[in-house]
């Protein structure tokens, strides 16, 4: 991911035998083609992040063109750009790659705002970044391996409460310590609960206090891309060297490595080498090491060797303190307490959404010029409030699916294997995976104590059927809508 302010090396090195991009042949056709691709990319992002986040952050982004394998996008404000690039950049790039494997990187520029189309989000004062500290960059084939760190993700800006105090203390300890207190530190929890924030905070802290220590922070996804590229260049040796010479290696969202055998293997070796040499490793994941499906047993157990800290779902107190702190940072200390309490009560999913809600309120107030009241909050946050109202449970899914297929609820969790019950059961497992945040092992347990591989198989099977059988796909879609309504 690059932004125009910070043109690091492109993310993937061009290789000589690249086939010519279509626009090098026919510019007009190319344009239509690209616009259609952009529409599909947008649809994917919308599905992935949900309507609310999409509307607030991604909809205002415009497609400007493709040049030399770089997709160029425009944001209506610097604020929006700085918000979108670190959070959504990797996913935007991944979505583009699905459209066109020749896309190497995505670049977001700040465009002048036009009169006709006001930006959705106003330029808002962002908390002053910590003293400018620079991380050492680590290059591999001209690519900066260190991902961009968000200047706002510091310990100073991290609000501590019961749900995250243990993870915070552990992260702080790692950042402060000249030696290795526990290895690895594994932080896990649901999306938007502060895992990445804590990792960046460790990196900033170390960069400030001990600038000589070499820190690498990168997503597991990027680690994978880099490794695959090293394989292509037949250059895995120097790839390994890069990682093995760091003092602190941080890998974010390790669940993305699951199932990719060669990458897992490499990660495992790098991991062991670093641990043996007494270097610190910090890893985050969306579930505990033992629940990482698709990860080799030895890797799972190794990940659990050090300290495992969970960031728990938020509680009301934490949400309210976070709102206070963010409102202050935005220079909006004047938002009525009643409104903050209302939002803290009602937006309980995660901190990212909480922040999104606050930003939306502030943006709305700026555009309308009116005060922020309970009524405006209810109106402006309408869709978020609705989504937060509905927590779909596995039990509900089982019930609805049983009703729909006209089988007994008991059959869904029973061991019966007849097709008439086995297929609906798979549908229910599939929906449980899609509509709840439960892990595969948890889902398996709720379905009569089945193994997580059974759930994984069900998910794959249903995906397959959805693609090959339109009627079946409609059934599933209908069930999804009923459950979500």
Contact residues for ligand ADP, defined by CB under 6 A = 153, 157-159, 164, 191-197, 322, 351-352, 355
Least separation in angstroms between CB 225 and Mg ion: 17
CB of 191 to ligand ADP, least distance (A): 4
Residue 56's binding partner, choosing from Mg ion, ligand ADP, none, with beta-carbon cut-off 5 to 8 A by kind? none
Q: Which is nearer to Mg ion, 168 or 195 (CB)?
A: 195
List, as one string, the DSSP characters of 392-407: --HHHHHHHHHHHHT-
Between 74 and 151, CB nearer to ligand ADP: 151
Tell me which of ligand ADP, Mg ion, none is bound by residue 398, counting a contact when its beta carbon lies within the kind-specific cut-off of 5 to 8 angstroms.
none
For the residues of 272-341, what is the DSSP string, one character each? Answer: HHHHHTT-EEEEEESS-GGG-TTS-HHHHHHHTSSEEEEPPPP-HHHHHHHHHHHHHHTT-TTS-HHHHH
Q: Which helix (H) or strand (E) holds 109?
A: strand 105-110
Binding mask 361-400 for Mg ion (x = CB under 5 A): ----------------------------------------
Q: How far is Cα 112 from Cα 58, in angstroms, rounded to an integer?
A: 17
Three-state DSSP class for residue 365 = helix
Which residue number has the CB closest to Mg ion? 196
Binding of Mg ion by 164 (CB under 5 A):
no
Least Å distance between CB 419 and ligand ADP? 39
Residue that is written with structure tokens 């959805």 in the block: 466
CA distance linking residue 292 with residue 313, whole number of Å = 19
Nearer to Mg ion, 99 or 310 (CB): 310
Residue 92 vs 340, nearer CB to Mg ion? 92
Q: Is 196 in the site for Mg ion (CB under 5 A)?
A: yes
> Least CB distance from residue 286 to ligand ADP, whole Å?
8
Contact 283, 303 (CB under 8 A): yes
- For 454, residues 6+ apart whose C-beta sits below 8 A from its C-beta are 429, 444, 447
The binder of 314, among ligand ADP, Mg ion, none, by C-beta within 5 to 8 A per type, is none
DSSP states of 99-167: H-TT--EEEEEEPPPPSSS--SS---PPPPPSS---PPP-EETTEE-SPPPPTT-SSTTPPP-GGGHHH
**In 110-219, which ranges are continuous DSSP H helix?**
165-176, 195-209
Name the H helices within 233-260: 236-244
Region near Mg ion per CB under 5 A, out of 83-91, 193-201, 209-217, 376-384: 193-201
| 356 in Cβ contact with 87 (< 8 Å) | no
Q: Count Cα atoms within 13 angstroms, Cβ side, for 337.
A: 0
Closer to Mg ion by Cβ: residue 224 or 407: 224
Minimum distance between the CB of residue 111 and Mg ion, rounded to whole angstroms?
28
* Pick 116 or 128: Cβ nearer ligand ADP: 128
Which one, 244 or 352, has the nearer CB to ligand ADP? 352
Closest contact distance (angstroms) between CB of 149 and ligand ADP is 12
CB-nearer residue toward ligand ADP: 323 or 462: 323
CB 331, min distance to ligand ADP, A: 17
Residues 246-285 that bind Mg ion (CB under 5 A): none
- Cis (ω within 30 of 0) for the bond into 184? yes
Binding region for Mg ion (CB under 5 A): 195-196
């Amino acid at each position: 991911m690059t932004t125009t302010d910070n043109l690091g090396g492109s993310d993937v090195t061009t290789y000589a035998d690249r086939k010519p991009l279509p626009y090098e042949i026919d510019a007009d056709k190319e344009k239509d083609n690209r616009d259609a691709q952009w529409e599909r990319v947008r649809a994917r992002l919308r599905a992935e992040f949900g309507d609310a986040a999409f509307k607030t952050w991604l909809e205002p982004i415009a497609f400007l063109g493709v040049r030399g394998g770089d997709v160029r996008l425009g944001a209506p404000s610097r604020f929006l750009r700085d918000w979108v690039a670190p959070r959504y950049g990797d996913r935007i790039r991944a979505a583009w790659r699905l459209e066109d494997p020749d896309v190497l990187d995505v670049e977001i520029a700040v465009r002048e705002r036009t009169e006709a189309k006001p930006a959705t989000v106003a330029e808002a004062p962002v908390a002053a970044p910590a003293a400018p500290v620079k991380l050492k960059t680590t290059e591999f084939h001209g690519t900066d391996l260190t991902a961009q760190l968000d200047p706002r993700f510091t310990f100073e800006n991290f609000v501590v409460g019961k749900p995250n105090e243990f993870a915070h203390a552990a992260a702080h300890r790692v950042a402060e310590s000249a030696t290795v207190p526990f290895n690895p530190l594994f932080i896990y929890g649901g999306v938007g609960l502060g895992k990445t924030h804590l990792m960046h905070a460790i990196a900033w802290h170390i960069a400030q206090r001990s600038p000589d220590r070499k820190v690498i922070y990168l997503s597991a996804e990027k680690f994978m891309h880099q490794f695959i590229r090293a394989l292509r260049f037949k250059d895995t040796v120097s790839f390994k060297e890069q990682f093995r010479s760091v003092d602190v290696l941080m890998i974010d969202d390790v669940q993305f490595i699951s199932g990719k055998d060669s990458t897992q293997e490499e990660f495992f070796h790098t991991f062991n080498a670093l641990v043996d040499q007494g270097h610190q490793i910090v890893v985050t994941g969306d579930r505990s090491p033992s629940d990482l499906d698709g990860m080799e047993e030895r890797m799972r157990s190794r990940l659990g060797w050090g300290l495992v800290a969970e960031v728990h779902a938020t509680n009301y107190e934490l949400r309210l303190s976070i709102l206070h702190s963010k409102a202050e940072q935005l220079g909006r200390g004047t938002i009525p307490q009643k409104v903050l309490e209302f939002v803290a009560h009602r937006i309980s999913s995660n901190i990212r959404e909480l922040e999104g809600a606050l930003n939306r309120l502030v943006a709305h107030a700026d555009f309308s010029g009116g005060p922020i009241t309970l009524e405006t909050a209810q109106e402006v946050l309408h869709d978020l409030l609705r989504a937060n109202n509905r927590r779909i449970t596995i039990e509900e899914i089982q019930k609805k699916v049983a009703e729909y297929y006209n089988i007994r609820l008991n059959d869904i969790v029973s061991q019966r294997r007849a097709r008439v019950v086995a297929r609906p059961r798979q549908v229910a497992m599939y929906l449980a995976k899609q509509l709840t945040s439960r892990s595969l092992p948890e889902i398996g347990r709720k379905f009569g104590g089945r193994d997580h591989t059974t759930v994984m198989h069900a998910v794959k099977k249903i995906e397959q059927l959805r693609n090959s059988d339109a009627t079946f796909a409609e059934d599933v879609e209908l069930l999804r809508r009923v459950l979500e309504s």
